[in-house]
């Protein structure tokens, strides 16, 4: 592993001066350079702009075309160039219509763009090409959930877990679906299984805490929220949830502390309006006291 990482570092360094930091249409590409290898090295090092430029040179020089469109799309997606990612992935599947990973990747980008129907269609195509594509079932299940199609979501998440019984995030998301269906016992069961597989899933601790709140098991909720914050001191939604709970319980000092932290993390413009109102009231009361 260390040898591969070292080789990637060396390759990226050697090619850094070859790939100009400029717009794609102004690239000067050397036909003697293996830009696919350069792009792969930069992608491994999470140097996404450099990877994008490398793959652009590779495409300009017609190096490994189909895979290179796919790889450049990965870099573009990380850089939030979603239209470019869609364009590259579309070219990839046009060139290779059985390229399941490209359909899956395009489904993820469509999901980020809020285009649920195209996302579902691409996840479905990926599954048709690879019937045991665990993450495609999971991804489609998430989109179905966003649409409120809870039963369809549950069916896909069940299949993902059947294919990979150690898929912690899938248990988390199935727990969320069960909660939306009013099956709180099954929700807690799935959240607990997710945490057994990955104890550091902050979102799962927060989600389970939310269910405990709904069940009036406040001490269990507080324990989950506090553990989530211990793992991730910047878990803004957890601070907000804990602030809400303390506010409901009349534990105003603790509510104030958690609301302040939440607003500090997200900023006043992004903070939930009711939290800002409560925070102002709590700060006024604290000043009067």
Q: Is residue 256 included in any domain, yes or no? A: yes
Counted domains in the chain: 3
Q: Is residue 227 included in any domain, yes or no? A: no
C-beta of residue 246 within 8 angstroms of C-beta of residue 220: no
- Whether 4 and 90 map to the same domain: the answer is yes
What is the pLDDT, as a whole number, of residue 148? 97
- Whether 26 and 42 map to the same domain: the answer is yes
- Whether 88 and 4 map to the same domain: the answer is yes
The structure's pTM equals 0.86
DSSP 26: G
What is the pLDDT, as a whole number, of residue 125? 98
Among 165, 184, 204, the domain boundary falls at 165
CA distances from 132 to 34, 117, 138, 139, 154 (A): 34, 21, 11, 13, 17
Reported residue count of the chain is 289
Give, for all 289 residues of the chain, the pLDDT tens digit.
Answer: 433 433 443 333 333 333 333 345 568 898 889 999 999 999 999 999 999 999 999 998 887 789 999 999 999 999 999 999 999 999 999 999 999 999 999 999 999 999 999 999 999 999 999 999 999 999 999 999 999 999 999 999 999 999 999 999 999 999 999 999 999 999 999 999 999 999 999 999 999 999 999 999 999 999 999 999 999 999 999 999 999 999 999 999 999 999 999 999 999 999 999 999 999 999 999 987 6
What is the pLDDT, as a whole number, of residue 13? 38
Among 145, 165, 185, the domain boundary falls at 165
Range of the domain at 264: 234-289
Pairs from 7-11 (Cβ < 8 Å, separation ≥ 24): 7/41, 8/40, 8/41, 8/44, 8/45, 9/41, 9/45, 11/37, 11/38, 11/41
């Amino acid at each position: 592993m260390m040898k591969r990482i070292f080789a990637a570092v060396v390759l990226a360094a050697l090619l850094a001066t070859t790939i100009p930091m400029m717009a794609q249409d102004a690239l000067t590409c050397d036909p003697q350079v293996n830009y696919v290898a350069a792009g792969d090295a930069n992608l491994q090092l999470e140097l996404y702009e450099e990877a994008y430029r490398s793959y652009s040179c590779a495409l300009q020089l017609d190096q490994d075309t189909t895979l290179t469109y796919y790889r450049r799309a990965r870099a573009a997606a990380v850089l939030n160039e979603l239209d470019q990612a869609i364009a590259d992935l579309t070219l990839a599947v046009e060139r290779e219509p059985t390229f399941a990973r490209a359909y899956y990747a395009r489904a993820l980008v469509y999901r980020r763009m809020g285009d649920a129907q195209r996302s579902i269609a691409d996840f479905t195509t990926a599954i048709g090409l690879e019937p045991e594509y665990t993450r495609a079932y999971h991804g489609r299940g998430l989109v179905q959930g966003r649409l409120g199609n809870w039963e369809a979501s549950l069916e896909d998440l069940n299949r993902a877990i059947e294919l990979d019984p150690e898929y912690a995030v899938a248990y988390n998301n199935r727990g969320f679906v069960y909660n939306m269906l009013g099956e709180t016992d099954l929700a807690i069961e799935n959240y607990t299984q997710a945490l057994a597989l990955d104890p550091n899933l902050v979102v799962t601790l927060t989600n389970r805490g939310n269910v405990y709140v709904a069940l009036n098991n406040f001490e269990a909720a507080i324990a989950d929220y506090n553990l989530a914050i211990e793992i991730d001191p910047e878990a803004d939604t957890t601070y907000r949830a804990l602030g809400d709970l303390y506010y409901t319980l009349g534990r105003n000092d603790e509510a104030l502390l958690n609301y302040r932290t939440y607003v500090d993390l997200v900023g006043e413009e992004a903070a939930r309006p009711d939290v800002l109102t409560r925070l102002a009231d709590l700060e006024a009361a604290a000043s009067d006291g």
